Amino acid sequence: SPTQSQFIFPEIQQAQALLPDLLDELYVLVNHLGLDGGCLTPSVYDTAQVLRFAPPKEGVEPGLAWLLNHQQADGGWGNPVAPLMRDVPTLAAVLALHQYNLSGTYGPAIEAGLEFLKQASSQWQDFSVDELLVGVELILPKLVEEAVQNKLDISFQPYGKLNQFGMQKRKVIQHLKVVHGTPAAFSWEAWGEHPDRFLLDAYHSVGSSTSATAAWIAKVRAYQLPSDVTQAQHYLHQASQATRLNIPGVVPFAWPIDRFEQSFGLYALATGGLLAHAALEEVLNQQIQTLYGALTPYGMPFTDTFIPDLDDTAAAIIVFRMAGLPVSPEVLRLFQNEEGYFTYPGEFHASTSAHARAVQALKYLEEEKVAKGQQVLLSFQQEDGAWPGDKWHKSWLYTTSHMLYALLPAPDMPAVDKGLTKLLDGQNDDGGWGLNHTSSTAETAYVMLALNEYQKQKPELEFAYRRGQTWLMENFHREPAPTESLWIGKELFKPYRIDRAFELTALLQAILNP
């Protein structure tokens, strides 16, 4: 209708004028993927653990001030969009403040945190594993134990179900030979006792985890072992730089994340059809060749000192095959079992979004098996048409969009129609997409890439797609809110460069395909 056309295409000239700047920014972004080990948001939980176990030489006051500044009005810490993911950062922050509360200055913040935990404790009576942070079944019971030992007002009782889950995980770990670069090492601070040197990788980290490394340093010092902790302390300093805050002791949940940043950043461009763009050719070729050199016979890790995982492997395969590079189908098969795919060996539940990426990769390796893989994806869909957020990302918009990428080319499947309808229904009044009716640039980009894939066959998607483009153009340069940290680690986080790659790709795709 005339009204719709007026709304959809109000800024065609403005959009075209943006094109050179967007391409320039994307060129620089691609060139920076993996630089200095990656770039991501700081973690309250890991910062608190570093301040407790391995405080920086500059002192703990700047880090404690940062913690206090991030306490929410309700007394808790962590992203309010994910209630079950707030107890870990809250209790860790309380323990850190308690440890340094010699003058009583932090008393009110500690009390508010404990009151928040008491009010939130009922949610642990029943929960879905997909609502949990990485390693929470080990980490939270350990934190509660430490809080009780410190005579803080908290009880084990509400966490009984989670503790049972954790005990099962501990039994699995007991039968493993835990070495550096494994998922068990990543959560070592929650179960480890003996700080063996074989836990350290080439960066002198334990499992590429800042909190696990800090706990290892503390154990070495407590047992007065001859191990030199200087290089492990240096690792924590390097990890701190990834937050771009320059506050001593304020760290991300993991570092480095260089291969993750490269794999997913390039995957974003591949999904948006920009891998062959002439203006990006030089920098793309360089990054793809660098990443290709990191591919092992067992897949792609999130960093070279960690074991490979399905998600990074599948993303990298898609990039390599679209770039014309050979990859053996066996690399993807290594992550396959009778139920579908797993991210890491021994995990308790599968990731739906990693499944989607695996099926998407399958199209470039063994096309005859794609239909069977897509059937597995359909089994994850909810009645309302959405695929819920999963173990690596909180947003259902992320998961649903990635499922729709993987279900191509099947536009006539009822599941696809239901998924697309759910995305249209989820569009906010302002034209963007985001959890709790609050639009975010990254979630809007994920959805726009999905709608673009299907609108050739389904022109009725065009109106919603162009509304999304208009919102993204208007909000492209604003600072992301803390609630937009939706990737799941030991705490919700945001990998800045990866999300920016999706945003730039979605907007460029919309402008290049008017």
| pLDDT band of 4, cuts 50, 70, 90 | very low
What is each CA distance from 459 to 155, 368, 378, in whole angstroms? Answer: 56, 29, 24
Q: Max CA-CA distance within the chain? A: 77
Residue 412 above 50 pLDDT? yes
Residue 8 above 70 pLDDT? no
Mean pLDDT value across residues 258-276: 97
Residue 162 CA, chain-centre distance (Å), reads 22
Tokens in use for 129? Answer: 């594993």
Residue 488 is given by DSSP the state E
Residue 255 CA, chain-centre distance (Å), reads 13
Residue 90 above 60 pLDDT? yes
Provide, for the chain, the percentages of residues in helix, strand and coil under a 3-state DSSP scheme, each rounded to the nearest 5.
60, 5, 35
Residue 387 above 70 pLDDT? yes
Minimum mean pLDDT range among 61-75, 91-105, 371-385, 407-421: 407-421
Mean pLDDT value across residues 279-300: 98
Q: What Rg, from alpha-carbon coordinates, does the chain have?
A: 23
Residue 10 above 70 pLDDT? no
Mean pLDDT value across residues 256-262: 98
For 351-386, what is each residue's pLDDT tens digit? 999 999 999 999 999 999 999 999 999 999 999 999
Report pLDDT for 271.
96
Report pLDDT for 38.
98
pTM, two decimal places: 0.95
| pLDDT band of 15, cuts 50, 70, 90 | confident
Report pLDDT for 411.
58
Residue 126 above 80 pLDDT? yes
Mean pLDDT value across residues 429-440: 96
Minimum mean pLDDT range among 168-172, 257-261, 446-450, 459-463: 168-172
| pLDDT band of 5, cuts 50, 70, 90 | very low
Residue 410 above 90 pLDDT? no
Rounded Cα distance between 295 and 56, Å, is 35
Mean pLDDT taken over the chain: 93
Cβ(301)–Cβ(307) under 8 Å? yes
Report pLDDT for 127.
85
